[in-house]
């Protein structure tokens, strides 16, 4: 029922959905909202009207069918400007399209296949440092691996020595952004509050790395990688990309290309540690490769590993939510969407909806049969988004996740201590607490 105090629109409640409640327990809030108010549920956030969409057809309207009417919402993105600038993730309109076309070749199927070797080599390199029975910070380990991989594959850069510092700077940046989201008033970056100063220092640290990578490329000529392609690119007037745009694209790829995959791996290892029967089947599959590290040509022989990763991305989607803003009036499943409405899509909610997933809270890689995949509504599973703004790195990520899980599972088993991670809805779905696992050599 629509509350009488709301103008006509989908059900919701003006009191449900103040910023404090949203920020304190984002995942619970979104889940309750969908459960209580249905497929298009209305709430208020920072004096804005927002809709939570939890029917695949509603999501399709925004991300695919009428995508031109929806831009990434300013509620969130104006707060991450200093980090991402106008890179691919945050850009809009013609600028976005031009940049997306420039970047796309680095993600063509054949190019990605060339990256497979680097993915396993860098994983093996990290495993060299693991000693049987010792505790390891799983997220830190996974971050070191994925950060090195993205820097090497796309930018031909060696960043092993920078990984820890960049991860810390990125964490600081993310925490500060999360604080900004919880605060209704935006304090401009130039005001020297302690938070802004921390944020600035973190961005400076990331910038130093990016400018170093760009400089190394200037000296080295065309290396056939993404950064060389960006540096060679010319617009209609023959102009090259500005330093700032190069910086924005590079940092976007470095960050978007490693944090999400590291989180997906962390959640995968955690889920595995709780399901020994799944581990046994996973190990049987990877052992059948005969001890050799897996290569791209082995992917067809790793269907169970693929299902494990797919199921982990369902239960803990690193991009647990994303949003849009309506440019003009629209209609979704019969409800009016006035221009300026903020729309949220929560893969977290869709992926755990009993309408699409029987027994949604159980980790069950076997649910992903061919028949199940065929019958699942297309947008009931969207860890990588959908439509034109769909993740450019999805194929890269899927392959990387399977190769890394298989490479590690061939050699180690991860056993969690008593302390368990819980999901925290930051910018991405981060585990808090309980990140340590004992690594047992097989
Ligand atoms: C498990 C890993 C990953 C997940 C869950 C993920 C998720 C997503 C999602 C949901 C979006 C769309 C957001 C929206 O529509 O608002 C997105 C966009 C994007 N992702 Fe990923 N991603 C992953 C890995 C990667 C990798 C490996 C790269 C690069 C190497 C990457 C680069 C990007 C970029 C550049 C965009 C913006 C694309 C555009 O707007 O044109 N992602 N990602």
Decide if 151 contacts 254 (C-beta within 8 A): yes
Residues in the chain: 442
DSSP for 322-390 reads EEEEESS-EEETTEEE-TT-EEEE-HHHHHT-TTTSSSTTS--GGG--HHHHHHS-GGG--TT--GGGS
Runs of H (alpha helix) within 221-346: 226-232, 243-256, 259-273, 276-287, 303-315
Q: Name residues whose C-beta falls within 8 Å of residue 311's C-beta, 6 or more positions apart in sequence.
A: 271, 363, 364, 365, 367, 368
Residues 6+ apart with CB under 8 A from 254: 147, 150, 151, 155, 166, 209, 210
**Choice from 77, 92, 256, 383 to test ligand 1 binding pocket (greatest atom count within 8 A of CB):** 256
- Position 76 scores a pLDDT of 62
d(CA 222, CA 266): 35
How many angstroms is it from 367 CA to the middle of ligand 1?
25
* Degrees, nearest 5: CA angle 86-91-94: 120
Residue 230: per-residue pLDDT: 85
| pTM for the model | 0.94
Whether ligand 1 lies within 6 angstroms of the CB of 264 is answered as: yes
Residue with CA closest to ligand 1 atom 9 = 384
- pLDDT computed for residue 4 by the predictor: 45
Report CA Rg, the chain. 22
Task: Give the residues of the chain that fall short of pLDDT 70.
Answer: 1-7, 13-18, 74-79, 182-186
> So what's the pLDDT on residue 1?
44
Quote the pLDDT of residue 2. 44
Q: What is the pLDDT of residue 376?
A: 97
- What is the spatial distance between Cα 227 and Cα 328, in angstroms, rounded to a whole number? 36
Taking only the tens place, the pLDDT of each residue in 431-442 is 988 789 999 999
- What pLDDT, on the 0 to 100 scale, is given for residue 3? 46
Identify the CA nearest to 98 among candidates 251, 236, 210. Answer: 236
- Predicted confidence at residue 317, as pLDDT, reads 98
What pLDDT, on a 0 to 100 scale, did the predictor assign at position 17? 57
pLDDT tens for 403-412 read 999 999 999 9
| Ligand 1 pocket, residue 319 CB under 6 Å | yes
Q: Is 87 in the pocket of ligand 1 (CB under 6 A)?
A: no
Whether 429 and 317 have beta carbons less than 8 Å apart is answered as yes
Whether 407 and 124 have beta carbons less than 8 Å apart is answered as yes
Q: How far apart are CA 379 and CA 233, in angstroms?
A: 35
């Amino acid at each position: 029922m629509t509350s009488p105090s709301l103008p006509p629109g989908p059900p919701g409640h003006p009191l449900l959905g103040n910023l404090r409640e949203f920020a304190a327990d984002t995942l619970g809030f979104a889940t309750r909202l969908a459960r209580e108010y249905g497929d298009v549920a209305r709430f208020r956030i920072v004096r804005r009207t927002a809709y939570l969409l939890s029917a695949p057809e509603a999501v399709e309207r925004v991300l695919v069918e009428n995508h031109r009417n929806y831009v990434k919402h300013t509620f969130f993105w104006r707060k991450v400007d200093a980090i991402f600038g106008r890179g691919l993730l945050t850009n809009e309109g013609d600028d976005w399209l031009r940049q997306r076309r420039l970047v796309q070749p680095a993600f063509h199927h054949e190019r990605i296949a060339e990256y497979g070797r680097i993915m396993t080599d860098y994983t093996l390199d990290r495993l060299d440092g693991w000693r049987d029975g010792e505790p390891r910070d799983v997220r830190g380990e996974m971050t070191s691996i994925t950060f090195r991989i993205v820097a090497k594959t796309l930018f031909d850069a060696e960043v092993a020595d920078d990984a820890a510092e960049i991860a810390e700077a990125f964490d600081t940046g993310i925490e500060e952004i999360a604080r900004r989201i919880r605060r209704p008033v935006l304090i401009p970056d130039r005001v020297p509050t302690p938070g802004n100063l921390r944020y600035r220092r973190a961005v400076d640290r990331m910038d130093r790395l990016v400018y170093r990578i760009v400089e190394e490329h200037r000296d080295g000529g065309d290396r056939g990688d993404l950064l060389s392609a960006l540096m060679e690119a010319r617009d209609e007037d023959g102009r090259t990309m500005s330093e700032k745009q190069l910086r924005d694209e590079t940092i976007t790829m470095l960050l978007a290309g490693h944090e999400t995959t590291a989180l997906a791996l962390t959640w995968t290892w955690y889920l595995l540690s709780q399901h020994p029967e799944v581990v046994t089947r996973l190990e049987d599959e990877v052992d059948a490769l005969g001890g050799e590290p897996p290569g791209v040509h082995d992917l067809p022989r790793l269907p169970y590993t693929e299902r494990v990763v797919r199921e982990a991305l369902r239960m803990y989607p690193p991009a647990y939510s994303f949003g849009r803003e309506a440019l003009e009036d629209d209609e979704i499943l019969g409800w009016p969407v006035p221009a300026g409405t903020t729309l949220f899509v929560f893969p977290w909610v869709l992926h755990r909806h009993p309408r699409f997933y029987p027994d949604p809270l159980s980790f069950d890689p076997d649910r992903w049969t061919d028949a199940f995949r065929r019958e699942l509504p297309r947008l009931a599973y969207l860890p990588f988004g959908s439509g034109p703004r769909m993740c450019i790195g999805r194929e890269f990520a899927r392959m990387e996740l399977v190769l890394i899980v298989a490479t590690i599972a061939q050699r180690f088993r991860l056993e969690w201590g008593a302390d368990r991670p819980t999901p925290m809805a930051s910018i991405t779905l981060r585990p808090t607490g309980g990140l340590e696992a004992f690594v047992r050599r097989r």
